[in-house]
Amino acid sequence: MALRPLQNGTQPYGQFDGLDAVVTAVRGGEVVQFTYVALHAAGGTDLDAADVELDGYSNATALTRPAVTTALVAGVRPLFLVDDGTQYYGTLFGQVVGATCGHTVTGGTVLGPHSATGSGKLTLWQDPGMFAVSLDAVDTRNAVGLTPNNVGLAGNSALYATANGLLTPDATVAYAALVVARFIEFSDNGALVTTPRRITQALNSPSGIAGVAVSWNWAHINFKVED
């Protein structure tokens, strides 16, 4: 769903063209890197905006340009956190609050396009810092993933990236033996609103845990690639 920088005064690394094969599947919060694709002048088929095609290339012989991908290759640097979302960005992430007495906040009507629709570009963050990543954009296997149900997950735990860029504490599914971040804590959405337990508890719990009323929305991480 999203990446949220938690510290003030930082700036993104920049905005870069997303690889067509992955750009509309990016949720925000994945680990990404550059891949290089051929310019149209050299027979390339990956679509881009005019400023990307005319902005530059890697060398006069290769005629390739960078594109952002979540398909990670071991040893490639630099690595980034991507800050854009799957469809619905900016409209409560497209979730319609309604149905019976406003209880339904998922599914149904789709609102808003993917944030890369207008330009095909993705925003990248590289500097070490504190970030919040929505839990639908990480490794969600409860027993071993980046979820509140992973009893083995502790503060300062090392986080890796899977082959498709998802943050995970499970080194066995990491694309490389590389710590890309450290886990700090889980948090809710920060809203100062009291919701009756009868709406959120038991099988209706947003956490997915019967009897637990807290809705965990984010994982706070310290992004820093530890070579």
- What does the pLDDT look like over 105-136, one tens digit per residue? 555 555 666 777 777 889 999 999 999 998 88
Residue ranges of alpha helices (H) inside the chain are: 50-55, 197-200
Percent of the chain with pLDDT over 90: 48
**Which of the two residues, 110 and 225, has the higher pLDDT score?**
225
**pLDDT at residue 84, rounded to an integer:** 76
Position 211 scores a pLDDT of 43
Dihedral pair phi/psi, residue 31, rounded to 5°: -85, 130
Q: What pLDDT was estimated at residue 168?
A: 98
DSSP of 167-206: EES-GGG-SSS-EEEEEEEEE---------HHHHSGGG-T
> Residue 94: is its pLDDT beyond 60?
no
Neighbours of 125 (CB within 10 A): 20
**What's the total number of domains in the chain?**
1
In the chain, how long is the greatest CA-to-CA distance?
65
For 52, the domain range is: 3-226
- In this predicted model, which residue has the larger pLDDT, 224 or 118? 224
